[in-house]
């Protein structure tokens, strides 16, 4: 199977879906001639033209809102937010509109839009080019939030998002774009939104996480194996709505659970994961649930030592996993 980077998998999924369905189109800032500031839409403008790869004015609420209108009409828009941090002006369109269109119209109208946004830190982006923003949206029934970790998942899940009948927020870890590579089949395939994925089978401790941290956990697990610690790793993939069964199963399996997010701790996705576990498998636990996350400060600073202090990294993950195993 060909090996591709995370961002190549994105471009590939976009291209294949645009080839497959004429209603699919891309809109956003600099997505056209420039191919996106990260190059996620590279080559699409050349292949599909300016009408299907739309450079929009600099206005996120319009990018989301115009996309929503087009989706209600019957198109399949893929709106790009240049950085996830800049999705904030579009919150009203996403929460008040996209998420509620089917429900409020009693199933008369629907809104099959995909909104892509690069999130996450470790790229010297400082406060406003590093944030995890999923928790702002992870309480909005009607919306789905997908955050894949591998190129394989990216391709399959982005295709599912585009074909989904409902709005999907598709969050891409920008540090993973070129760092993470993996096998990606040339064939057309989709992966189910709403399903977590066991990335490693293990029996001593359970790690539940998503995005870049999945890789940190996998690396740490390889190291810890030598020490006789066998980690079970569940990749949430869809962070809203959560895959409760998979979470319960993974937590029950080892009775020792570590939850990891790159987001600030308080109010992050993994709080809900902890709540699900404590509601459903409390008596299967052999240790308190552990959480590893960014600190509760607004976002990561720019200066390298400060950014490093903020970021979850393989060392911190390894230590947390070992501590839990030794509990």
Partner 1 sequence: MVKVDRKKKVIEQRHEQLGLNDEQVLDMYRNMLLARRIDERMYLLNRAGKIPFVVSCQGQEPGQVGAAFALDKEKDYALPYYRDLGVVLTFGMTTKDLFLQAFAKAEDPNSGGRQMPGHFGQKKNRIVTGSSPVTTQVPHAVGIALGAKMEKKDFVSFVTFGEGSSNQGDFHEGANFAAVHKLPVIFMVENNQYAISVPLSKQVACEKISDRAIGYGMPGITVDGNDPLAVYEAVKDAVTNARNGHGPTLIEVVSYRLLAHSSDDDDRSYRSKEEVDEAKEKDGIITFATYLRETNVLTEEIEVKLNDEIKSLIDDATDYAEKAPYADAKSIYKHVYAE
Ligand X SMILES: Cc1ncc(C[n+]2csc(CCOP(=O)(O)OP(=O)(O)O)c2C)c(N)n1
Does 103 contact a second copy by CB under 8 A? Answer: yes
Nearer to partner 1, 98 or 324 (CB): 98
Site for a second copy (CB under 8 A): which residue of 24, 40, 64, 99? 99
Residue 153: helix, strand or coil by DSSP?
helix
Smaller CB separation from partner 1, 253 or 291: 291
Q: Which is it for strands 205-209 and 257-264: parallel, antiparallel or unpaired? A: parallel
Residue 259 in 3-state DSSP? Answer: strand
Residue 80 in contact with ligand X, rule: CB under 6 A? no
Considering the complex, what minimum distance in angstroms separates the CB of residue 225 from a second copy? 26
Minimum separation from the CB atom of position 85 to ligand X (A): 8
Q: Which stretch binds a second copy (CB under 8 A): 12-20, 23-31, 85-93, 205-213?
A: 85-93
**Minimum distance from residue 90 beta carbon to partner 1 (Å):** 10
Judged by CB under 6 A, does residue 29 bind ligand X?
A: yes
If DSSP codes are grouped into helix, strand and coil, which group holds residue 257? strand
Strand boundaries in 201-314, DSSP class E: 205-209, 231-235, 238-240, 257-264, 290-294
The CA-atom distances, in angstroms, between 111 and each of 92, 157, 184 are 15, 18, 29
In the residue annotation, 129 being an active-site residue is answered as yes
Instruction: Report the residue from 58, 275, 282, 303 that binds ligand X according to the rule CB under 6 A.
Output: 58
Q: Tell me which residue of 54, 91, 46 sits closest to 75, measured CA to CA.
A: 54
**Residues within window 115-154 making contact with a second copy, judged by CB under 8 A:** 127-128, 135-142
DSSP 77-139: EEEE-SSGGGGGGGHIIIIIIGGGHHHHTTTS-----EEEEEE--SSS--TTSS---HHHHTT
263 contacts partner 1 (rule: CB under 8 A): no
Give yes or no for residue 89 binding a second copy (CB under 8 A).
Answer: yes
User: 27: which strand partners?
Assistant: 54, 79
The pair of structure tokens assigned to 4 is 């591709």
Note the residues at the interface with ligand X (CB under 6 A): 29, 58, 60, 82, 86, 89
User: Which positions are annotated as active-site residues?
Assistant: 129
Note the residues at the interface with a second copy (CB under 8 A): 61, 85, 88-89, 91-92, 95-96, 99-100, 103-104, 127-128, 135-142, 240-242, 263-264, 266-275, 277-280, 282-283, 285, 287-291, 296-299
């Amino acid at each position: 199977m060909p090996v591709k980077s995370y961002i190549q998998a994105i471009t590939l999924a976009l291209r294949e879906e645009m080839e497959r369905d004429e209603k699919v189109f891309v809109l956003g800032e600099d997505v056209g001639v420039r191919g996106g500031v990260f190059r996620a839409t590279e080559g699409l403008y050349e292949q599909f033209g300016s009408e299907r790869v739309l450079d929009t004015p600099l206005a996120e609420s319009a990018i989301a809102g115009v996309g929503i209108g087009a989706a209600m009409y019957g198109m399949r828009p893929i709106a790009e937010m240049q950085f996830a941090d800049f999705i904030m002006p579009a919150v009203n369109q996403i929460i008040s509109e996209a998420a509620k269109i089917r429900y409020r119209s009693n199933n008369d109208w629907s809104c099959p839009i995909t909104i892509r946004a690069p999130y996450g830190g470790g790229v010297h982006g400082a406060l406003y080019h590093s944030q995890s923003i999923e928790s702002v949206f992870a309480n909005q029934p009607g919306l789905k939030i997908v955050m894949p970790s591998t190129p394989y998942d990216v391709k399959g899940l982005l295709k599912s998002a585009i074909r989904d009948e409902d709005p999907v927020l598709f969050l891409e870890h920008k540090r993973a774009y070129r760092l993470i590579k993996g096998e990606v089949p040339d064939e057309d395939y989709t992966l189910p939104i709403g399903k977590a994925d066991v990335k490693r089978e293990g029996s001593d401790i359970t790690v539940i996480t998503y995005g870049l941290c999945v890789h940190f956990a996998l690396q740490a697990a390889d190291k810890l194996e030598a020490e006789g610690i066998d980690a079970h790793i569940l990749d949430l993939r869809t962070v809203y709505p959560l895959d409760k069964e998979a979470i319960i199963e993974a937590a029950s399996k080892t009775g020792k659970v570590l939850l990891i997010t790159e987001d600030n701790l308080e109010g992050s996705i993994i709080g809900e994961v902890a709540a699900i576990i404590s509601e459903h498998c409390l008596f299967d636990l052999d240790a308190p649930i552990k959480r590893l996350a960014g600190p509760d400060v607004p976002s990561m600073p720019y200066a390298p030592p400060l950014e490093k202090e903020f970021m979850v990294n393989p060392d911190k993950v390894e230590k947390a996993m070992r501590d839990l195993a030794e509990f």
